[in-house]
Protein backbone atom coordinates (compact mmCIF):
# COMPACT_ATOMS: atom_id res chain seq x y z
CA UNK A 1 0.00 0.00 0.00
CA UNK A 2 1.49 3.31 -1.06
CA UNK A 3 2.23 5.74 1.75
CA UNK A 4 3.54 9.29 1.71
CA UNK A 5 5.75 10.59 4.53
CA UNK A 6 4.84 13.98 6.00
CA UNK A 7 7.90 15.58 4.39
CA UNK A 8 6.75 14.29 0.98
CA UNK A 9 3.25 15.78 1.14
CA UNK A 10 3.36 18.53 -1.45
CA UNK A 11 0.71 19.73 -3.87
CA UNK A 12 2.77 18.28 -6.71
CA UNK A 13 2.97 14.84 -5.07
CA UNK A 14 -0.74 14.92 -4.24
CA UNK A 15 -1.53 15.95 -7.82
CA UNK A 16 0.44 12.95 -9.05
CA UNK A 17 -1.42 10.62 -6.66
CA UNK A 18 -4.78 12.00 -7.81
CA UNK A 19 -3.83 11.69 -11.47
CA UNK A 20 -2.80 8.06 -10.93
CA UNK A 21 -6.29 7.53 -9.45
CA UNK A 22 -7.84 9.16 -12.55
CA UNK A 23 -8.85 12.30 -10.65
CA UNK A 24 -8.16 15.40 -12.71
CA UNK A 25 -6.89 18.36 -10.72
CA UNK A 26 -5.39 21.82 -11.08
CA UNK A 27 -2.63 23.17 -8.86
CA UNK A 28 -3.15 26.59 -7.27
CA UNK A 29 0.30 27.78 -6.18
CA UNK A 30 -1.01 30.94 -4.55
CA UNK A 31 -3.20 29.14 -2.00
CA UNK A 32 -1.12 25.93 -1.76
CA UNK A 33 -4.06 23.81 -2.82
CA UNK A 34 -5.47 21.58 -5.53
CA UNK A 35 -8.83 21.89 -7.24
CA UNK A 36 -10.43 18.53 -8.07
CA UNK A 37 -12.78 18.79 -11.01
CA UNK A 38 -16.38 17.61 -11.12
CA UNK A 39 -15.67 15.28 -14.03
CA UNK A 40 -13.78 12.98 -11.65
CA UNK A 41 -15.67 13.27 -8.36
CA UNK A 42 -19.36 13.67 -7.51
CA UNK A 43 -18.92 17.36 -6.64
CA UNK A 44 -15.83 19.56 -7.17
CA UNK A 45 -13.64 20.32 -4.17
CA UNK A 46 -10.37 21.79 -3.05
CA UNK A 47 -7.54 20.02 -1.23
CA UNK A 48 -5.43 22.38 0.85
CA UNK A 49 -2.16 21.51 2.55
CA UNK A 50 -1.43 23.26 5.84
CA UNK A 51 2.17 22.50 6.81
CA UNK A 52 1.94 24.44 10.07
CA UNK A 53 -1.06 22.48 11.37
CA UNK A 54 0.07 19.30 9.62
CA UNK A 55 -3.29 18.79 7.97
CA UNK A 56 -4.84 18.31 4.59
CA UNK A 57 -8.21 20.04 4.44
CA UNK A 58 -10.87 19.00 1.98
CA UNK A 59 -13.45 21.70 1.36
CA UNK A 60 -16.17 22.78 -1.02
CA UNK A 61 -19.22 25.03 -1.10
CA UNK A 62 -22.51 25.64 -2.87
CA UNK A 63 -24.46 28.89 -2.95
CA UNK A 64 -27.93 28.91 -1.48
CA UNK A 65 -30.79 30.17 -3.64
CA UNK A 66 -31.32 33.93 -3.37
CA UNK A 67 -34.75 33.37 -1.82
CA UNK A 68 -33.62 30.66 0.62
CA UNK A 69 -34.93 31.44 4.12
CA UNK A 70 -31.88 33.04 5.79
CA UNK A 71 -33.20 32.37 9.27
CA UNK A 72 -33.14 28.60 8.57
CA UNK A 73 -29.68 28.23 6.99
CA UNK A 74 -27.74 27.48 10.19
CA UNK A 75 -30.39 24.96 11.29
CA UNK A 76 -30.15 23.26 7.89
CA UNK A 77 -26.35 22.97 8.24
CA UNK A 78 -26.73 21.60 11.79
CA UNK A 79 -29.27 19.02 10.62
CA UNK A 80 -26.73 17.85 8.03
CA UNK A 81 -24.03 17.65 10.74
CA UNK A 82 -26.35 15.58 12.91
CA UNK A 83 -27.02 13.18 10.05
CA UNK A 84 -23.75 12.77 8.12
CA UNK A 85 -20.14 12.02 8.97
CA UNK A 86 -16.92 12.85 7.12
CA UNK A 87 -18.24 16.28 6.10
CA UNK A 88 -18.54 19.14 8.59
CA UNK A 89 -21.21 21.55 7.31
CA UNK A 90 -21.35 25.29 8.02
CA UNK A 91 -22.84 28.38 6.44
CA UNK A 92 -21.00 31.42 5.18
CA UNK A 93 -21.49 34.59 3.22
CA UNK A 94 -19.42 35.77 0.26
CA UNK A 95 -18.26 39.35 -0.29
CA UNK A 96 -21.29 39.98 -2.50
CA UNK A 97 -23.66 39.02 0.34
CA UNK A 98 -24.63 35.62 -1.10
CA UNK A 99 -25.06 32.86 1.46
CA UNK A 100 -23.48 29.47 0.88
CA UNK A 101 -23.19 26.06 2.47
CA UNK A 102 -19.65 24.87 2.93
CA UNK A 103 -18.33 21.46 3.73
CA UNK A 104 -14.90 20.65 5.07
CA UNK A 105 -12.88 17.84 6.60
CA UNK A 106 -9.37 17.84 8.07
CA UNK A 107 -7.00 14.91 7.73
CA UNK A 108 -4.07 14.97 10.12
CA UNK A 109 -0.76 14.19 8.46
CA UNK A 110 1.69 14.12 11.39
CA UNK A 111 2.91 10.67 10.42
CA UNK A 112 2.17 10.86 6.70
CA UNK A 113 -0.77 9.47 4.77
CA UNK A 114 -1.87 6.24 3.15
CA UNK A 115 -2.54 7.29 -0.43
CA UNK A 116 -5.45 4.89 -1.20
CA UNK A 117 -7.15 6.03 2.01
CA UNK A 118 -6.77 9.68 0.95
CA UNK A 119 -8.25 8.91 -2.49
CA UNK A 120 -11.18 7.06 -0.90
CA UNK A 121 -11.76 9.88 1.62
CA UNK A 122 -11.77 12.51 -1.15
CA UNK A 123 -14.33 10.53 -3.14
CA UNK A 124 -16.55 9.90 -0.09
CA UNK A 125 -16.32 13.56 0.98
CA UNK A 126 -17.48 14.73 -2.44
CA UNK A 127 -20.25 12.13 -2.60
CA UNK A 128 -21.55 12.83 0.91
CA UNK A 129 -21.58 16.62 0.40
CA UNK A 130 -23.82 16.56 -2.67
CA UNK A 131 -25.91 13.54 -1.60
CA UNK A 132 -26.71 15.20 1.74
CA UNK A 133 -28.03 18.27 -0.06
CA UNK A 134 -30.07 16.17 -2.48
CA UNK A 135 -31.53 14.05 0.30
CA UNK A 136 -32.34 16.82 2.77
CA UNK A 137 -33.49 19.54 0.34
CA UNK A 138 -35.87 17.53 -1.83
CA UNK A 139 -38.36 20.40 -1.90
CA UNK A 140 -35.67 22.80 -3.20
CA UNK A 141 -36.10 25.23 -0.30
CA UNK A 142 -32.39 26.03 -0.08
CA UNK A 143 -31.00 25.07 -3.48
CA UNK A 144 -32.32 25.01 -7.04
CA UNK A 145 -33.26 21.85 -8.90
Mean pLDDT (whole number) for 70-74? 97
Residue 56 sits at the vertex; the CA angle it makes with 45 and 85, to the nearest 5 degrees, is 65
Pick the CATH number of 3-136 from 3.40.718.10, 2.40.110.10, 3.50.50.60, 3.30.1460.10: 3.30.1460.10
Strand 33-36 to strand 55-63: parallel, antiparallel, or no bridges (unpaired)? unpaired
Lowest mean pLDDT among 2-6, 86-90, 91-95: 2-6
The 3-class secondary structure across 95-145, one letter per residue, is CCCCEEEEEEEEEECCCCEEHHHHHHHHHHHHHHHHHHHHHHCCCCCCCCC
pLDDT, one tens digit per residue, over 24-67 is: 999 998 888 999 998 889 999 999 999 999 999 999 999 999 99
- In angstroms, the first-to-last Cα distance of the chain is 41
pLDDT value for 13? 94
What are the domain boundaries of the chain? 3-136
Burial class (CB in 10 A: 0-12, 13-18, 19+), 25: buried
CA distance 14 to 145: 34
Position 76 pLDDT exceeds 90: yes
The whole-number pLDDT of residue 8 equals 87
Quote the pLDDT of residue 39: 86
pLDDT in tens, 100-133: 999 999 999 999 999 999 999 999 999 999 999 9
Asked if 91 contacts 100 with a C-beta cutoff of 8 angstroms, the reply is yes
Amino acid sequence: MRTMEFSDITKEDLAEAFELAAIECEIDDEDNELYLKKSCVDFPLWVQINDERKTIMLYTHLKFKDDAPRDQLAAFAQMLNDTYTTVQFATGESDDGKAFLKGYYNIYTNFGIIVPQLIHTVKKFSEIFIDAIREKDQEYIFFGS
